Amino acid sequence: MASGSDLVTFNVGGKIYQVLREPTLSLHPNSLLTQLAEDKQDDKEIFVEGDQDLFNYVLAYHRDRKIILPPNISAAAVQQELKRFGLDAKTEEMVRDGAYYPSMLKQIDQLVANQKNLLQKQQNQNAAAHLMSITAQALMEKSAKGNGEQISISFDEVVQNKFGSTSSEQRSFAFSCFKGFEQMHFKESMAAWAASIGYQATFWPHGTNPLRNKDSPMVSLTPVA
């Protein structure tokens, strides 16, 4: 077991490192760390100005004359830190650790997947907001022609009111625009709008797709007594 005199304690910005005099420091007699250790014979900490994130690589070079760098660490930054302490690693002495790449690729794939999910969710919310808007417009126009009692409207009627046609081509286009709409977002927005004009909104049966059912109402409004 190393004695106190065998160990040198460096304090780098408050972070403590303990290093063996032999063989770690003695391998590099011209190193600033070696010189500091030689000048200080007691067991007190030696305060060193350095980069906490890079100092481990300085010690690694002292030990092994080789540095294995993960992909997220700059080789130029490590080289600069080495020079601060009187060391100069050759290019072949600084290598990238290939073991990091699979995990990094996995992280990147996960980030891309998360971004796609967020984008898809935003698109679905936008579709719901647009569908709610044109549905509300169609309901208002239908209400103006009625007697103020319950108003019901299907997706086909919304398409007809918006585009002036329910041809197969027009309906397919409308379906492609709204097929992924976020149903809860649509219902909450529609219910809030209906309440603001004195109606209660009810919606299509649970488990059914209102865009595919031509005959069933998508939304029904009933006056609040």
Q: Which tens digits make up the pLDDT trace of 131-175? A: 999 999 999 998 888 766 789 999 999 999 998 888 888 889 999
Residues 6 or more apart whose Cβ sits within 8 Å of residue 25: 8, 19, 31, 33, 34, 37, 62
CB hemisphere CA count around 45 (13 angstroms): 11
Per-residue pLDDT band at 214 (split at 50, 70, 90): confident
Nearest by Cα to 193 from 129, 150, 145, 100 = 129
Chain segment 164-211, per-residue pLDDT in tens: 888 888 889 999 999 999 999 999 999 999 999 999 999 998 888 889
pLDDT for residue 3 is more than 60? no
Q: In 4-51, where does DSSP find H-type helix?
A: 32-39
Residues 6 or more apart whose Cβ sits within 8 Å of residue 64: none
Q: Which residues pair with 17 in a beta bridge?
A: 10
Q: In 19-66, where does DSSP find H-type helix?
A: 32-39, 52-64
pTM more than 0.85: no
Tell the burial category of 62 from Cβ atoms under 10 Å away from its Cβ (0-12, 13-18, 19+): buried
Report whether 210 contacts 216 (CB < 8 A).
yes
Q: Which pLDDT score is estimated for 107?
A: 83
Chain segment 56-115, per-residue pLDDT in tens: 999 999 999 999 888 888 899 999 999 999 998 888 898 887 666 677 778 888 899 999
Q: In 65-199, where does DSSP find H-type helix?
A: 75-84, 100-145, 155-163, 168-178, 183-196
Distance CA 172, CA 167 (A): 8
Q: Which residues pair with 69 in a beta bridge?
A: 96
